[in-house]
Structure 1
Amino acid sequence: MSGVQIKTVKEDEVGMRLDRWFKTHFPELRHGDLEKCLRKGQIRVAGGRVKANRRLEIGEEIRVPPLQNEPRPSKPSQFRPEDASAVRDMIIFEDDAMLAINKPFGLAVQGGTNTKRHLDGMLASLEKDGERPRLVHRLDKDTGGLMLLAKTRQAAQRLGDAFKAHDIEKTYWALAAGAPRPRQGTIDMPIAKRMIRIGEGEEERVVPADGEGAKKAITDYQTIDEAGYNVAFLAMRPVTGRTHQLRVHAAAIGSPIIGDGKYGGTRASLEGVSTNLHLFCRTMTFPHPKNRRKMTLTASLSGHMLETWKFFTFDANAKCEWPEDIR
């Protein structure tokens, strides 16, 4: 048991919820006890009563009452010794606020059923002074390429806010079965999750849709190169960020992404190239979470997509510029 403490909100804690602040600084305090202290006014911020979802501001003083809970035993580390080396090999940019990685194809971002090794768990290997890199967005397991990670709470909030405000421009590369016509344009097609009959059963999929549950989805695209009429090297820019948006839109215009049997069916298979999904996050332009200046990062094409690009002699360093009048 300790006496009353007065803590000051630091710069990297700005915007953090009060309950999250307590979970970080006093992990032994159970949420129910936190709520009880808040109701009684024993916990105060800037001298006033507050709720658990109160966002903190720099320099504010937090009154912490005596805490009587017994500390909970810490969980043993789940990351493997080689995780730190593996993550380090993925890093393409790093400073004191953030880092960027080139995520390999097939690596899940977070855990789930039958998923024991994932990026989020591996990041624990980079913990330093109680801080570890934080996820601020996602990439599907089967998609490779550029991901941004925050190294501080403030950076995580600012990058998260930039994603929510669509202030981050992303360009993906894809191999499509069939060159789209016209060669460049905008796909403005609402999509929604629906239960679809597959064989004798049903499966939830994202499909073009109108009406209830349909969400606005917009994708810019341009053809960088072609190999005959059956294969196209596409650049795709999601204006909105819906689940499986690029895959659904590509299939909807008759140019499904190679390896995407879920949405492209048999057309998404191409003899001579990998059956894995050919979708890669190539570049991002975003405001740096510390100085807010715009910066652009690029991930080098890797894995099976690099092999496919060599097979078709596509330029793995091709430049992509988006016309201002594409929409």
Structure 2
Amino acid sequence: MPTVYLESPPMNENNTGVQFITISADQAGQRIDNFLRTRLKGVPKSMIYRIVRKGEVRVNKKRVKPEYKLEDGDELRIPPVRQSEPEQAPVSVHLDKVAALADAVLYEDDHLLILNKPSGTAVHGGSGLSFGVIEGLRALRPAAHFLELVHRLDRDTSGVLLIAKKRSALRLLHEQLRLKGMQKDYLALVRGEWPSHNKAVSAPLIKNILASGERIVRVGIEGKPSETRFKVEERFTRATLVKASPVTGRTHQIRVHAQFAGHPIAFDDRYGDAEFDRFLKGTGLHRLFLHAAALRFDHPATGETMRIEAPLDNELRQCLAYMRLNHK
């Protein structure tokens, strides 16, 4: 498979000396660590956190913490930055993956880009992955000055993914998320007969990060409040297609809540059921059956209410066709 190599963008020449930056209204609202990671392309994340913690980065001549949120008019001092650690390896981008992202665009304007993210593609490179949606989009849109995720999808989850093309759009969309103004609807094939009366699962979730960097989430009384609403869409022998609408946005929330309810999602390698997966062997399914089917939100520039739907991929459609023919 031919491969294109994209070198990490070079740092601005001003990075060889002290930089003084006045934060604009469009830049305000973001954490200083995220701002620096965007500004200092090619500088390791560990170095960025180090210069903030040591007080070498100043805001209005004062030390700040990495989580400090920049305000309009802030005067930011950035010290000279040198590559004291090895540079990140070049990003390897396979042409077929980039082409898949180009074909996956559902909607685009000057403020937004919306994808039907393929299963198996991470939203970001990192943690051993050289390619993600953002890296692919930057390859497709080399002139784009700003491309940032509004929200995330697990690597194996497909469906609607919202990307902001302006800082102002990102800020307004994040505000909608915070105020629970976005409606997200997923489709999931789960084990067994989901009870029609079970319309919501409320269970606090705790996220643990293992030494390997893997994230594992479990239900626990000391966890963060979490709620997912469920609706039966279609019934099969030993399986149910449900619509899952998360009220909160915790890591792996739908997957863990489905497991907690006794109905794990098909081919979930962390929270699933091997016997259920074997039952589905004849369907041709080999991926997590979780798909972000629709997203409703207000456009950050026009205020228009938008509902974007993402069709199921061939593997999910074939699985349902098999179930309807053999296990209805």
Work out whether the TM-score is over 0.5.
yes
Larger deviation: 101-110 or 268-277? 268-277
Provide the residue aligned with 2:132 in structure 1.
118
Kindly indicate whether residue 147 of structure 2 is the aligned counterpart of residue 133 of structure 1. Answer: yes
What's the offset of the Cα at 1:308?
0.9
Superposition RMSD in Å? 4.0
CA distance in 2, matches of 1:256, 1:308: 17
Alignment map for 1:209-248 (pairs within 5 Å): 209-210=220-221, 212=222, 214-228=223-237, 230-248=238-256
Provide the residue aligned with 1:98 in structure 2.
112
CA distance in 1, matches of 2:219, 2:245: 18
Change (3 A) 1:85 1:11: farther
Q: Which amino acid in the other structure matches residue 207 of structure 1?
A: R
Q: 2:301 aligns with which of 279, 285, 290?
A: 290
Q: 1:80 aligns with which of 66, 89, 93?
A: 93
What's the offset of the Cα at 1:79?
5.3
Kindly indicate whether residue 271 of structure 2 is the aligned counterpart of residue 263 of structure 1. Answer: yes
Change (3 A) 1:217 1:75: closer
What's the offset of the Cα at 1:148?
0.3
Alignment map for 1:139-150 (pairs within 5 Å): 139-150=153-164
* 2:320 match: secondary structure: helix
Change (3 A) 1:275 1:51: same
What's the offset of the Cα at 1:261?
4.5
Provide the residue aligned with 1:317 in structure 2.
none
CA distance in 2, matches of 1:114, 1:75: 11
Change (3 A) 1:267 1:180: farther
Change (3 A) 1:287 1:50: farther
Asked if structure 2 preserves the Cα contact closer than 8 Å seen for 1:176 and 1:234, the reply is yes
Q: Greater Rg, structure 1 or structure 2?
A: 1
What's the offset of the Cα at 1:17?
5.5
Question: What is the TM-score normalised by the length of structure 1?
Answer: 0.73
Where structure 1 has 5 or more consecutive residues not aligned to the other structure, the ranges are: 197-202, 315-327
CA distance in 1, matches of 2:259, 2:24: 48
CA distance in 2, matches of 1:19, 1:114: 21
Any idea what the Cα deviations from partners look like across 1:127-155, whole Å, max 9, x if unmatched? 45461421222111111111000111222
Q: 1:166 aligns with which of 169, 172, 180?
A: 180
How many residue pairs are counted as aligned between the two chains?
293
Alignment map for 1:175-324 (pairs within 5 Å): 175-182=189-196, 184-193=198-207, 205-210=216-221, 212=222, 214-228=223-237, 230-269=238-277, 270-271=279-280, 272-273=282-283, 274-313=285-324
CA distance in 2, matches of 1:125, 1:183: 47
CA distance in 2, matches of 1:7, 1:113: 31
Asked if structure 2 preserves the Cα contact closer than 8 Å seen for 1:258 and 1:277, the reply is yes
Change (3 A) 1:310 1:14: same
Any idea what the Cα deviations from partners look like across 1:138-174, whole Å, max 9, x if unmatched? 1111111110001112222222232233221111001
Asked if structure 2 preserves the Cα contact closer than 8 Å seen for 1:126 and 1:133, the reply is no
Change (3 A) 1:121 1:295: same
